Structure 1
Amino acid sequence: MKTRTISTLCVMAVAAGALSASVAGPAAGSATGTVATSASRAVVTNGRIAYTKSWPVDGKQGTDIFSVRPDGTGDKRLTTSHDASNAMWSPSGSRIAFERPGSVWLMNSDGSHKRVLTDGELVGWMPTGGRVLVVRWPGGHGEDPAFLLHSTGTGTEEQLPIDLPLVPGPLEPPYDDYSEWDGAGSPVLSPDGEHLAIMLSRYDDDYGYGYFFSSVFTVRLDGTELTRLPRYASNWAISDWSPNGNQLLYWGEEPRGYCASWVKSFRLDGSAGSVDVQKHCAKPDPAWSPDGRRIVFASGRSDSLQIVRKDGTHNKNVIPQQRGVYRGHPDWRPSR
């Protein structure tokens, strides 16, 4: 359960949450691994993968949500509106929240009982499964987005007191420190529902070439403990928390090299994490498997959906390339 949302001055968007679990060691075999949570000792199994498929419809690109088993079988269409995207499984795996332009929707895991929830873009599910976190982006640079917890049962909303270090822009270098930014995007909700990770960005040309550079900040949902993580770079975006909540998954690309991209993770102290996948033309929206052992991503070169181990080995196609069809925004269903 993750997210991929963006504002105008951000790096490319990529979206998140997952089950809060203590990840067991790597296991060989198929992509259907298991891990026991430290709290309940329940077994978490990798279920179906939801993804967005885009293809020409009446002369323009239409997008709908599909789900498929990790072995590539049982590919099923869940929406037919030609404008649905960014699916996120509920913690129980019984429901899916998703987006249509300007709004957040809900449906059952089989695509039935679709209904609109609220305006905005989807960030993630709270761990109880009764509320979703939604963001409403402002119209101007340097303005704070509004984060709201929306009850899927009653429709009530609670706006969160999150205040980011954004200033009216666009900003221009040189910069004295990391206290001012004019863009925000890629918010990702932690598995325990207590923290938000978000990227803040600004234009910077102090490195010999001008790009939007970004850093990741974490903040509690009550607005306290705003912390900048020690990384400042261009052409990268976070997309998911690890299931145990101690790492952030991210995509990166060399801005001056064609398809020189990778999927990696880092710990909250900024040190390198356990994911290291060197993959040409990977799209910026990878997701962690619920058992924490694998990564699912879409290839920008072949537009196939692929699964790989955290160390980059045992890469396999879930859905192969199909001419004129594009896939992205994968999210892996937790099963118990």
Structure 2
Amino acid sequence: MWKTGLVAVGVTLTVAVGAAEVAYAAPGELPSVVAYVRNGDVYVSQGTGEKRLTTGSGHARPRWSPDGRQLAFLKNGRLWTMRSDGTAARQLSARAAAGPSWSPDGKWLAFASLSCTGGPGVYRIATAATKTAVPEVLFPRDCRGEELPEEAAAVPAGRGVPAPLNERLATDDAVAWSPDGRRLAFRGGDCESTYDACLSVGTLADGSEKTVAAYGGGSLQNRGFAVVPSWRSDGAKLSWTAFQEGETAAESKPVHLVEYDTATGAKRILGSAMDRELAYVDASRAVITSQNSGRSWVTVLGLATGTRVLFRSGSQPSVQPVRR
């Protein structure tokens, strides 16, 4: 059974929003700053105050650098970086990009883009690169050394009624670099030759891939997706956002969060229905995007207890690494 409602944890502040009251995480409850997106712009906050880093909308998927001094993000579907205070923004690649991820040493950014197979591929580009630099193919392995495929012209976003959340998430190609620097998690991969949708963990050294979630095809009588992967800082856990339609209502699951044990392969569902886009704070907490009164909210989730507290209106959270 899905849990609903919000339970305040630690010290909170209650603030009126319209006719409703919501709980905010109090300053100092989180050990570092969270970046997130609201109305197409990037904001940062550690508690009750917040700072807007971008203007003009069109921004998505902010991701902190390992040293916490920079953010990678998407601007109109292209890869950019900026300092943690929003200054010195610069474009790294002219190629269409999806959800970036930093290498643990901070020298590279991985991102998804069209591959030589016609499906999503994973590339890397040096963080010191200019937008004329050519990114390097990481996955699929068979595309390494091949010329980069030409990209179709961008189609302007529609102004009509937005597609349902599960449809918008289904093709989100955000990637996640493992804390040991050896692996990348990404949507698709070689498993798409067997399944209708899947999530892979690829090993950089040899280009091999492991399927960690799959839907449809290959004797699986379901439909769904697994997207927006996120590693815990010790590499012991990998989470992602999932959706599943089964043969029966009991086998169907709305948008939800899955946590995967990288040693045993065991999986468990975290949080509540419609939770998504998890980013670990530590072994006991994460920030996620949840639904509240029809809006997206960044929410602090207790991983063992299921306790929840609203943090900020927005989505796509990323937690700044704690500087040591």
Counting matched residue pairs gives: 255
Cα distance, 1:47 vs. partner? 0.6
* Distance verdict in 2 for CA 1:231–1:83, change over 3 Å: closer
1:175 matched residue in structure 2: none
* Distance verdict in 2 for CA 1:87–1:287, change over 3 Å: same
How big is each residue's C-alpha offset from its partner over 1:150-203, in whole Å with a ceiling of 9 and x where there is no partner? 23267765513532689xxxxxxxxxxxxxxxx994432112222111222759
Query: Relative CO higher for 1 or 2, CA cutoff 8 Å, sep ≥ 6?
Result: 1
2:35 matched residue in structure 1: 50
Q: Aligned runs of 1:128-143 on 2, under 5 Å? A: 128-138=105-115, 142-143=118-119
Cα distance, 1:214 vs. partner? 2.6
1:115 aligns with 2:90: yes
Distance 2:64 2:186 in 1: 20
Distance 1:184 1:96 in 2: 19
1:148 aligns with 2:133: no
* Distance verdict in 2 for CA 1:146–1:127, change over 3 Å: closer
Distance 1:142 1:113 in 2: 34
The question of whether the paired residues in 2 share the 8 Å contact of 1:163 and 1:223 is answered with: no
Cα distance, 1:281 vs. partner? 2.2
* Distance verdict in 2 for CA 1:129–1:87, change over 3 Å: same
1:218 matched residue in structure 2: 201
* Distance verdict in 2 for CA 1:313–1:86, change over 3 Å: same
1:81 matched residue in structure 2: 56
2:280 alignment partner, one of 273, 288, 292: 288
Cα distance, 1:131 vs. partner? 2.3
1:279 aligns with 2:272: yes
Secondary structure of 2:295's match? coil
Secondary structure of 1:303's match? strand
The question of whether the paired residues in 2 share the 8 Å contact of 1:184 and 1:198 is answered with: no
Q: Aligned runs of 1:150-169 on 2, under 5 Å? A: 150-152=126-128, 159-163=136-140
Cα distance, 1:269 vs. partner? 5.3
1:190 aligns with 2:187: no
Higher relative helix content: 2
Distance 2:70 2:79 in 1: 13
The question of whether the paired residues in 1 share the 8 Å contact of 2:54 and 2:86 is answered with: yes
Q: TM-score, normalised by structure 2?
A: 0.67
2:260 matched residue in structure 1: 266
Cα distance, 1:106 vs. partner? 1.2
1:330 aligns with 2:317: yes
Unaligned runs of 5+ in 2: 1-8, 12-24, 144-170, 216-221
1:317 matched residue in structure 2: 310
Distance 2:245 2:184 in 1: 27
- What fraction of aligned residue pairs are identical, expressed as a percent? 20
1:299 aligns with 2:290: yes
2:231 matched residue in structure 1: 241
Amino acid in structure 1 at the alignment position of 2:67 = S
Secondary structure of 1:229's match? strand
Distance 1:184 1:82 in 2: 18
How big is each residue's C-alpha offset from its partner over 1:92-142, in whole Å with a ceiling of 9 and x where there is no partner? 11111111123211111011111111123242111122321233325x974
Unaligned runs of 5+ in 1: 1-27, 35-44, 55-62, 167-182, 205-211, 321-326
Secondary structure of 2:126's match? strand
Secondary structure of 2:320's match? strand
2:76 matched residue in structure 1: 101
The question of whether the paired residues in 2 share the 8 Å contact of 1:162 and 1:222 is answered with: no
1:308 matched residue in structure 2: 301
Secondary structure of 1:244's match? coil
Distance 1:230 1:101 in 2: 29
Distance 2:58 2:82 in 1: 15
Cα distance, 1:268 vs. partner? 2.8
* Distance verdict in 2 for CA 1:137–1:315, change over 3 Å: same
* Distance verdict in 2 for CA 1:285–1:314, change over 3 Å: same
Cα distance, 1:229 vs. partner? 3.0
